[in-house]
Amino acid sequence: MSEPAGVDLNLAVGVQLQASIDTLAGELRRYNDQQQKLNQQVNVFTIPGQPVSLTGSAGSLTGTLDMPQLMQPPSGDVWQMVGVSAWGFTTGSVDVYLNNTAGDLEFVFTSAGLWEPSDYYLTPGNRLVYSASGITGTVTIKHRYIRIAAEIMGPYLL
């Protein structure tokens, strides 16, 4: 005795559905593995407060902080800047430049505080340099950044 046509159709649909579920499960596993690898290549770091060496007299102290070995990403990394703090001064300003004090002016602290840039990335060979002027007090600078392996920047930005 042969099976009714509907049973064969139900069996075929069931097999196709199981194959689709298996494919989807495999894609989900691959996606989760990729996300885990990305997370292992992204880390949050803080460069502790660095004092700016100042010269002059109170109210007109000046100085520059430029530390390439400490304040720029090494080859193979990109830093997403998430916070720069400047504190210790009551008058004056601290200018933040890209690469040198003749470079692009990125931000100005007119008082002690926090700069939280959005979508600001430093690549190898680029750094932030600080120039303080008209200072009363001291100046200390601290960086917070997310370290991203350069080879995953595309997926990271997505």
Q: pLDDT tens digits for 56-72? A: 998 899 999 999 999 99
Residues 126 and 138 in one domain: yes
Residues 28 and 77 in one domain: no
Residues 57 and 118 in one domain: yes
Residues 82 and 8 in one domain: no
Give the Cα separation of 110 and 120 in Å (integer).
20
In a domain, 25, yes or no: yes
Give the Cα separation of 94 and 63 in Å (integer).
9
Residues 51 and 113 in one domain: yes
Residues 47 and 123 in one domain: yes
| Whole-prediction pTM | 0.76
Residues 36 and 49 in one domain: no
Query: Residue 1 pLDDT more than 60?
Result: no
Q: Which domain holds residue 3?
A: 1-40
User: Which segment, 29-38, 41-50, 61-70, 147-156, is predicted with the most confidence on average?
Assistant: 61-70
In a domain, 158, yes or no: no
Give the Cα separation of 89 and 130 in Å (integer).
14
Give the Cα separation of 87 and 70 in Å (integer).
19
| Residue 129 confidence (pLDDT) | 97
Query: Residue 131 pLDDT more than 80?
Result: yes
